[in-house]
Amino acid sequence: MSGWEDITAGFRRELAELSTEQLRMDGEKSFRLALIGAAGSGKTTLARALAGAETPQASGLEHFLPEYTLPLSAQDVAELNLTTLLILLLDATKGDYVQEVAAADYLAYLGKPMLVCYTKMDTLQVETRMIREQARWRGAQILPLIGTQPDTVLDLLVPAVLEALPGHRLALANRLALFRAQVADEIVRGTAQANATFAAAKGMGDLRPSLRFPFDDDDLMVMCANLAEMTERLGIAYAGDLVLGNHSLVERVDPGQVWRQMSRHVLGLVPVWSLRAKVALAYGGTAALGQAVEHICSTGAELDSKSLQGLYKSVARDTRAVGDSVLSRAKDALPSGRARGQASRRPARPWSSLLQRERRKKCGECSRMNPSDALYCAYCGVQLGGSLPPNANDGRVGTNP
C-alpha cells in the first residue's frame, strides 16, 4: 500500500527520468522587447526596471531590451522587423505625439504585437493622471507606468507582456528577473490545478470515504511526474541548474513530508478521506511544494519550520474552495451528469396524450387510426364496431340504409 514516503520516492524517480530537452529549449527561446520612444521618454529607466539591474548592458541583457529613439532610421526599422514585441513609450508630460503617431502607423505594417505605455505619470497632477490612465491611444489601452517604481511595471506591464507573448513565458522569466514571480505563480497554480483535476476524475469511480492513504500507485505516478516537471520549470524560470543527477534540490525539500503536513490542514478534525478531501490535498500539496521549491530557487535557502507552518496555512485557505470547484466541474463532465442536465431540460410528455393514443380505434377496412369514441371510420366510413346508437343518422356515408 502507498504512503507518504512513496511521494518522495516517486518524485525523485520522476525527476531523475524527466526529459528536459523541450523545457530547456523553452527557457532558452530568444526574444527582443524593443523600447521605442522620443529622447527622454524613460526608455533606459524602464529597461533597468525590467532587467533588475543598474543597466541592461551591465547585466548583459541589452540584446533582449534594445532601445530605439524617434524618429526611426532605416536601420532601426530593419532591426525592429526582427523583434518579438514593440513597446511604444509616450512621455506623459508632453502634449504633442506627432512622432509617436507616425511611428505607430509605420510599425503596424510589421505585424508585431505592440504595447503603448505612458511614462513619468508621477509628475502629473492627480486629475490629469486619472484622465491619462483612462485614455486609449491608437486603439490600445494605455499602460500608465512610473519607471522609477518597479511595482507599477510589475503590476501593469509584466502581465501585458506575458499575455502578448504566451509562448515566451519561461524564457522571459529565465532572462528577466521581474517576470519570475508571476511566471512561477502560474507554473505552481497550473500544476496544482492539473493534479486536483486528475484526482477528481480518477476518484469518481469510487466515492466511498476511506481511512487509508488516499492515493494508489497509479495516482502517484501521474502526480509525481507533474511535480517533477513543475520543479524543473521553476528551476529554469529562476535561471538555476538543478543538477538532476545529484538531486541537489531534492535533498533540501521532502515532498512526502510537505504533503503529510498539508493533509492535516485538509482533513481538520475528521480523519476520513473523502473524495473532496483527496482533491483538496492534491491541490494543496502541489501548491505548498511548489512554493517551497520557488523559495529555494529564489533565495537559495530552505524555509524554517515556522515559515513552513505559515505556508501551509496560507495554501489551506484556498485549497478547499478550489477543490470544491474542481470536483463540481468533474461531476458535470461525466456522461451521467450531462444526461441529467439534458433530461432536466427535456419537456415531459403529458400522460393524458399517451393514454389517448392507447385508446384509439383501428379501422378493420383501411387500417387507419380513429379517436377512441368514434363510431365510424373518418377515412372510409366503415362502422368501427358495435351497433349504431338509437339516434344515428341512417344516411351516414358507408352504412346500409
HEC letters along the chain:
CCCHHHHHHHHHHHHHHCCCHHHHHHHCCCCCEEEEECCCCCHHHHHHHHHCCCCCCCCCCCCCCCEEECCCCHHHHHHHCCCCEEEEEEECCCCCCHHHHHHHHHHHHHCCCEEEEEECHHHCCHHHHHHHHHCEECCEECEECCCCCHHHHHHHHHHHHHHHCHHHHHHHHHHCHHHHHHHHHHHHHHHHHHHHHHHHHHHCCCCCCECCCCCCHHHHHHHHHHHHHHHHHHHHHCCCCCCHHHCCCHHHCCHHHHHHHHHHHHHCCCCCECHHHHHHHHHHHHHHHHHHHHHHHHHCCCCCHHHHHHHHHHHHHHHHHHHHHHHHHHHHHCHHHHHHHHHHHCCCCCHHHHHHHHHCEECCCCCCEECCCCCECCCCCCECCCCCCCCCCCCCCCCCC
Distance CA 376, CA 371 (A): 10
Q: Is the pLDDT of residue 26 over 80?
A: yes
| Whole-number pLDDT of residue 119 | 81
End-to-end CA distance of the chain: 92
| Whole-number pLDDT of residue 230 | 94
Q: Is the pLDDT of residue 400 over 60?
A: no
Q: Is the pLDDT of residue 143 over 50?
A: yes
- All domains of the chain in start order, with CATH: 4-23+178-333 (no CATH), 32-164 (3.40.50.300), 359-401 (no CATH)
| Whole-number pLDDT of residue 265 | 85
Q: Is the pLDDT of residue 106 over 80?
A: yes
Contact status, residue 112 vs residue 83, Cβ threshold 8 Å: yes
Least confident stretch, 39-43, 219-223, 273-277: 273-277
Q: What is the pLDDT of residues 146-187, one digit of tens each?
A: 766 777 888 889 999 999 999 999 999 999 988 999 999 999
Query: Rounded to whole angstroms, what are the CA distances from 345 to 4, 339, 342, 399?
Result: 45, 10, 5, 50
Higher-pLDDT residue of 12, 388: 12
Q: Is the pLDDT of residue 108 over 70?
A: yes
Q: Is the pLDDT of residue 260 over 50?
A: yes
What one-letter code names the amino acid at 136? R
| Whole-number pLDDT of residue 283 | 93
| Whole-number pLDDT of residue 33 | 96
| Whole-number pLDDT of residue 250 | 61
What angle in degrees, to the nearest 10, is found between the helix axes of 255-267 and 305-333?
A: 70
| Whole-number pLDDT of residue 216 | 87
Mean pLDDT value across residues 288-314? 88
Average pLDDT of the chain?
Answer: 79
Q: What is the pLDDT of residues 181-228, one digit of tens each?
A: 999 999 999 999 999 989 888 877 665 667 778 888 888 999 999 999
Mean pLDDT value across residues 86-91? 89
Distance CA 104, CA 112 (A): 11
| Whole-number pLDDT of residue 334 | 59
Distance CA 107, CA 79 (A): 12
pTM for the whole structure:
0.76
* Segment of 38-42, 58-62, 241-245 carrying the highest mean pLDDT: 38-42
